[in-house]
Structure 1
Amino acid sequence: MPLVMEDVMKLLCSISEEKKMKAAVKHSRRGALVTGTMAFVGGLVGGPLGIAVGGALGGLLGAWMATGQFKPVPQILMELPPAEQQRLFHEVMAIVRYLNWTDAVQLTALVMGSEPLKEKLLAMLVNYVTKELRAKVRY
């Protein structure tokens, strides 16, 4: 039976939709860039005092930007680059490899009918989102 990555991604979307999972990815790089830029511009305009003022204002703006907005996990999953989707696919297949399925609907029905299997996949998904994407998960 050919294993289709799209079916697995649909399965993960179904599981995360059922749990109403959302995740906030922090944009710390962007916040650090803003802080540094503001300090630099402040230094050009106001010398040493400008660096302090620009750094403080940039720090506040950077901190505000670094707080992530929560997005639905299914949306995040579908926006992943193909290499990351492939990585997730392999992790899911390690869990569901013994199931016999032909399409996404059948795979989803098999998994949703088994609470232990669903919980394993949910734990794997939460681990992936928190460790690999460095996001905070909320239900």
Structure 2
Amino acid sequence: MPINVDDVMQLYCHLAQKKGMKAAVKHTGRGALVVAASTFLGGLMGGPPGIVIGGAFGGLLGAWMTSGQFRPVPQILLELPPAEQQKLYDEAAVILRHLDWTDVAQLTALVMRYANLQQKLTAVLKNYLTKQLKAKIQHRK
């Protein structure tokens, strides 16, 4: 049966929840923007000393913003844009192509029955999170 992207996202969410996966995604672009904006504003308001103060303040704020907060992986997956969800779908479709199922509940039950399928899909998910999103991952053993 052909699988759709939403089914695969639900399956990944179920796996991540069962493994207790959390990820901290760093937002380096936002941090850099904060540093630049605060340095610029400091320069406008205080001249050269304002640049120093604005840069220091922005650097601290930017570092705090990019430290990343651990969030549940299912939440991160559901917030992904469709193009990113498609990437995860494409990798799962290769792994799941030989299964016979009728709905997402049956698909999830099949995957949860086979440890090797769980391992393959979890590896795809971890690889995506660490390489594409540059996230740190925590999970139960």
RMSD of the TM alignment (CA)?
Answer: 1.1
Could you give the per-residue CA deviations for residues 44-67 of structure 1, whole angstroms, max 9, x where no partner exists? Answer: 222222111111111001111111
Matched with 2:115 is 115
For 2:65, give the aligned amino acid.
Answer: M
**Cα distance per residue 1:81-106 (max 9 Å; x no partner):** 11211111111011111111111111
* Equivalent residue number for residue 70 of structure 2: 70
Separation in 1 of the partners of 2:46 and 2:75?
Answer: 44
Which SS does the other structure have where 1:38 is aligned?
A: helix
1:32 aligns with 2:49: no
1:29 to 1:130, Cα distance in 2 relative to 1, 3 A: same
Identity %: 60
1:80 aligns with 2:77: no
**TM-score (normalizing by structure 2):** 0.93
Indicate the SS of the match to 2:137.
strand
- Equivalent AA in structure 2 for residue 27 of structure 1: H
Unaligned runs of at least 5 residues, structure 1? none
Q: Runs in 1 of length 4+ with deviation above 6 angstroms? A: none
Which residue is equivalent to 1:17?
17
Q: Give the corresponding residue for 2:51.
A: 51
Query: Shift in Å at residue 37 of structure 1?
Result: 1.1
State how many pairs are aligned: 139
